[in-house]
Amino acid sequence: MPPNDDVPGVDWVTKARRRVLPTVHRIKAPLGGFAQCTMHPSEYVGTVQRELTEFRPDLEAMEFAPEPIASLKVHSDGRASAGSWVRRRSALADWQLHVTLFQDGRDAVEVFAHREYSWLRHPYKHYTAEGWDTTGGVERMRSLLSDHGVSFRVD
């Protein structure tokens, strides 16, 4: 399914990732690599009833930064991610909280999360998903949303 880049709120970096990474994935997959993957339902944090452009400042207030290096995540229903964000204690932190966003219509954002080794500090461990922690990532993101007054529902 080709990405719908006409959806409001999708930034140019995400649009570029949606166009380029599926091709990179087709090249890497036969060699055992990946540049695209399907989100696992266990990573679902909740749905925030805000437009994507309204939710970005909340992520920034929680000390998240856009993550253009991440693989392209695809929702189980075929939607391409509308953004990838990461939170680290510092640039040299061992761990990071990785959040992936999917637009759910025009006025809601589905949030998915996991905790993982930082690709900046541990590129091999990151790429091979060593230490991947879905439960911890979801719990931490739900806590951050609550602490920052961002309402969400869990469907």
Residue 7 domain-assigned (yes or no): no
Res 89 pLDDT > 90 = yes
pTM strictly above 0.85: no
Residue 154 domain-assigned (yes or no): no
Domain count, the chain: 1
Using DSSP, state whether 153 is helix, strand or coil.
strand
Can you tell me the mean pLDDT for 44-73?
A: 92
Residue 29 domain-assigned (yes or no): yes
Residue 128 domain-assigned (yes or no): yes
Confidence of residue 29 (pLDDT cuts 50, 70, 90): low
Residue whose entry in the numeric block shows the structure tokens 């309402």: 151
For residue 36, the enclosing domain spans 12-147
Residue 6 domain-assigned (yes or no): no
Length of the chain as a residue count: 155
pLDDT tens digits, 96-153: 999 999 998 889 999 999 999 998 898 888 778 788 899 999 999 999 999 999 999 9
Residue 16 domain-assigned (yes or no): yes
